[in-house]
Structure 1
């Protein structure tokens, strides 16, 4: 598991290869990732947007941005946790992702970026 903390908001990531949805012969590799967002600050915050950079090991980089995460813009009170699972497909058996979440403090509207720590996605057979 990979983690990073920005302004009291901790983001942790755990990845898993999905062989049943992948087709290595067609250069299609599917991974899921579980994100845990923990609010360790003293302020209520809301996740507004996401901004990802997705890297295949062949040098291809994709940029993805949009509102919220999996259709939600969660509000986290101090001490609260939000988890979600999403997925990514790569053209290679190895890659990495990272980025930021745009968050807003509810009390004063201050917006800030929270780091999504860079994490790797590797098909297990590549580790042998």
Structure 2
């Protein structure tokens, strides 16, 4: 079983608010709190901007890898998400398999993407 922790930040160096481009970086820490090693095979993100427009992203692994995480170990990665509004939210799931071949899904709770000084 995986425990998920997400930290987010606005990325001003890659944003252009005058043209409605707001880029956020998010760092995910995945900790295997189970008794067996497991591998993250694929991901599914649901990204919603401040207008309520939703897009979905699916793909193999995360940041180009399908990490195998031993019991008691963690894997951390960072990625980014552009939005057309200064705030939004994300949630999703990881599709995984443990060392016995049993498949499982890890829900990623919703987290907010918010630029500084944003009222919403």
Give the shorter-chain TM-score range: over 0.9
Q: Is the 8 A contact 1:12 1:117 kept in 2?
A: no
TM-superposed deviation, 1:9: 1.0
Quick check: 1:112 aligned with 2:104? Answer: yes
Give the aligned partner of residue 44 of structure 1: 37
Moved over 6 A (4+): none
**Structure 2 residue corresponding to 1:63, chosen from 50, 56, 60:** 56
Give the aligned partner of residue 81 of structure 1: 74
RMSD: 1.2
Give secondary structure in 1 for the equivalent of 2:117.
helix
TM-superposed deviation, 1:12: 0.5
* CA displacement, residues 36-85 of structure 1 (integer Å, 9 cap, x when unaligned): 00001001100000000000010110000000000000001100100000
Structure 1: stretches of 5+ with no match in the other structure = 1-7
Structure 2: stretches of 5+ with no match in the other structure = none
- Once residues 93 and 84 of structure 1 are traced to their aligned partners in structure 2, the CA distance between those partners, rounded to angstroms, is 23
* CA displacement, residues 7-49 of structure 1 (integer Å, 9 cap, x when unaligned): x310110000011111111000000000000001001100000
Give the aligned partner of residue 3 of structure 1: none
Give secondary structure in 2 for the equivalent of 1:20.
helix
Query: What is the total number of aligned residue pairs between the two structures?
Result: 120
